[in-house]
Amino acid sequence: MVGKDHGRIICYNATYVSMTNLRSSPLWPDFFLSNKSIDDIDWNSPDLPLNDRRFAFGTTEKMLGFAMGFLGAIAAVFPMSRLTARYGVHKVMTLSGVLATVLVSITPLVIAWSFPVFVVLRVLQGITLANLFTTAGVVVNEWATINEKGLFISVLSAHVEMGAVFTMPVSGALATSAGWPWVFYLHGIILGALTILWAVYYKDRAVQHPFVRQEEWQKISYGKNIQLSNSAQPPYRKNRVVYCDLGCLVCGHRQLFWSHSSPSRTHPFTLRGVIGCTPTEAGC
């Protein structure tokens, strides 16, 4: 689910190439023969089917379309973490999945209707993205054995790459064959299905899951029930150096995350704008 949640936020990046490809608009032949400028043509005319509408975004609109999703994700990290601590990851991610499904499904209608509303929608989409790493940590802590935590966190953290592996080529091919709105519809359908599976099958406590047998629960919980005495204080309260170490670790992880994931978000624009690839080729 976390992989698909990440995929639906970057599906706009993959679809952007088709949405802004004015040459594929039915209005292009008349525009080409006229003396009008690009701004004189209503590429998003209500008379056109949604599939045929295109968008001549300016620099500010381009920036807002991409940046607002990540701004929402950054701003909501701590609030979403607090909600997870209070209500549990099951409820928070279920509601987040429902909201994300609705938002990605209505994206084509919203962007054709009002760009300011679309900016708000992107912020809300970013908010639903803010809890992915927190969720991965909670799931690993509750469901993984001590010896398998590394494997669990590696698999769950791969949602950044796996989301791009699916979203980029599929979005390029689907936008070319069926139309750019169907990229959002497909991601909405898949995300909705995964949200239902999450809501039905995931439990905050492994011991409460009907499919977990007693011997499985004992294996999962082995070595986790170590309690500190009342007089003992956690090590991080004694040594403030730990805070510096944690801060460096977080900053390093963020830098690694962005350096690895940024190419998957920007390469469609480079391939399309510089090399002249088709949307399908740019997505692949």
pLDDT at site 8: 56
Instruction: Please enumerate in sequence order all residues whose Cβ is within 8 A of that of 234, keeping only pairs 6 or more positions apart, or say none.
Output: 228
Q: Looking at the domain assignment, is residue 32 inside a domain?
A: no
Average pLDDT on 62-68 reads 88
Q: pLDDT band at residue 13, thresholds of 50, 70 and 90? A: confident
Q: Looking at the domain assignment, is residue 134 inside a domain?
A: yes
Q: Looking at the domain assignment, is residue 198 inside a domain?
A: yes
Q: Looking at the domain assignment, is residue 47 inside a domain?
A: no
Q: How many distinct structural domains can be found in the chain?
A: 1
pTM for the full predicted model: 0.78
| pLDDT, tens digit, 9 for 90 and up, residues 153-194 | 878 777 777 777 778 788 888 888 889 999 999 999 999 999
User: Is there a contact between 119 and 64 (Cβ–Cβ < 8 Å)?
Assistant: yes
| pLDDT, tens digit, 9 for 90 and up, residues 217-232 | 888 887 776 444 444 4
Q: Looking at the domain assignment, is residue 154 inside a domain?
A: yes
Q: Looking at the domain assignment, is residue 29 inside a domain?
A: no
Q: Looking at the domain assignment, is residue 39 inside a domain?
A: no
Range of the domain at 110: 2-20+57-283
Assign residue 214 the CATH number of its domain: 1.20.1250.20
Q: Looking at the domain assignment, is residue 52 inside a domain?
A: no
